[in-house]
Structures are given as C-alpha cells and as structure tokens.
Amino acid sequence: MLNLRKKEALNSFFFSVLWIFNENSDKITDRNVTRVLSKGIILSETLIKLLETKLDKTDDIKYILFVLSSYIRDWLYKYPRAFTGLEIDDLIYLIEKGERLFVGNIVITLFCIESELEKIKETEPEFIYKRTVTKFEKIKLQVKEILEKNRWQMFVENNSLNILDMNDKTIGSTQLANILSQNDVNSLGLFIQRHLT
C-alpha cells in the first residue's frame, strides 16, 4: 500500500492542484503554474531517487516520468510564459532519466516556448528574456545530446511525433491530434528540423 501511495503521489498532487485551479480559474497565473510545475519536478526527482534504491522499480519510474512530462507539456502549452520562472536543473536531471516519451513531451514543450520567446522579449525586462533564452537553449542542448547518444531520430509524420531508435529500429510515437492544432503540428516538424537534426 505504501509503494502504491508513493507511485500515485505525483499524479494526486497535480490532479488536486488542477482541480483547485478549475474551481478558481482566477488563480491560474503564469506564476502559479510555475510554482506547481516546480514542485512537481522536485517531487518527481525525489521519488525517482528513492525508487532507484529499490529493486524492480523501473515501471514506477517510467510512470512518474510519464505523468510529469504530460503535465509539463500540457501546462506550458497553455501558459508558456510560466517557463520564465522555472528552475531547470532538476528538470535536466529528469530529462537524462527519461525515455522516448519523456523526451518527446519535452520537445513539444520547447516548441511551445520558442513561439513565446519573441513576446517575452517585447514585454519583459531584458534580463528575464536573456535568462529564459539561456534556459531554453540549455534544455534544447540536453535533448539533442540524448538523441545523439541514444541514436534516436525524431520526426513528425501522420500527425504523430515519432522517435526512431536506430539501434533496434523501434519507434516510439505520441499522437499530436489532441495536443496541438494542425498548424502547430506542421510547425513542430520544422522546429525539429531546425534544432534537433
């Protein structure tokens, strides 16, 4: 029972906060989204480090990474400016632990943030813009290194984000229809070609 509670803790955290936000939509601000995601990232890192000390916890770790990356993707798609206040060192640690699904969700997130960078430049102080660009580039570099190290090729096809493992020729896919508009799906493909190939 205790292990089940640990495994479900992250999803319960996000679900409860999301429910509160839905009940009080005026509380959904970029700053609050940043706080929720930051706490979720720290909770995920803590849970994963705990589970790594146990045997046969690979599925639990995958579950945590799936839940976290899905919430990061969905929340930063709606509130990309929340990225400006996000601390990323813990996130980079988790990206290193993540498999194809996690990396794919982070790439979708980067795509959404890139679209917001010009607006941030126009409306925020210069130091916030520069700090945001630095964080964006740091995460992008980490993703690119993981793709190269694992010999993964990423591409968009048939409304899916696909990552082909060149070692065993398997493909991991994320359906984009319920995540991005069709225009954004096409633009995501161009983003990947520009930055990650």
Q: For residues 191 and 84, give the distance between their C-alpha atoms in angstroms, rounded to a whole number.
A: 20
Tens digits of residue pLDDT in 95-154: 998 889 999 999 999 999 999 999 999 999 999 999 999 999 999 999 999 999 999 999
Residue 66: name the closest of 92, 94, 90, 38 by CA. 94
Q: Which ranges in 52-169 belong to alpha helices (H)? A: 58-78, 89-97, 100-123, 126-150
DSSP at 26: G
Compare 20 and 83 and report the one with higher pLDDT.
83
pLDDT over 90, % of the chain = 56
Q: Where are the domains of the chain?
A: 2-149
